[in-house]
Structure 1
């Protein structure tokens, strides 16, 4: 085994060890205790979730695409 391969193996091992240590230290059990000022509020309904994360991005995409197409038509008419 060459010296370069050994260094890369040691480096990869160190990265894996550090990542594992970080994951173990950030245990999800700490998320179960609420802070004094923590007030999560009511959750979203299915309709609100779909509207926010599905419908809104689609509508925004369509509006931007429409504006780009309208701007392209104007620039084509001016060059003709």
Structure 2
């Protein structure tokens, strides 16, 4: 193996080990114990969860992308690649 592969494997092992340790150290059982002043509301339905965490970000992305494309002031819309430049000549 080359040095790059060894470094990549070492970095991957370190990241995986760190993630595993963080998962093992965070105890989900502690989430069941209520703290003083804790007043959780009612849970979200599946539709509410999907709309909040999936549909809303996708809609915002589409709106922002549409505004960027609609308000683009550049005149040259062709890709600036070497192949496109050769085709013009």
Q: TM-score, with normalisation over the residues of structure 2?
A: 0.50
When you count helix as a share of all residues, which structure comes out higher?
A: 1
Aligned ranges 1:4-43 → 2 under 5 Å: 23-24=24-25, 26-43=26-43
In structure 1, list runs of 5 or more residues that go unmatched.
Answer: 1-15
Please, what is the CA RMSD of the aligned residues?
A: 2.8
Whole-Å separation in 1 of the counterparts to 2:27 and 2:48: 31
Partner of 2:44: 44
Q: TM-score, with normalisation over the residues of structure 1?
A: 0.55
SS of corresponding position for 2:70: helix
Whole-Å separation in 2 of the counterparts to 1:41 and 1:29: 20
Question: Across the two proteins, how many residue pairs are aligned to each other?
Answer: 58
- Indicate the structure (1 or 2) with the bigger Cα radius of gyration: 1
Partner of 1:61: 61
Higher RCO (CA < 8 A, seq sep 6+):
2
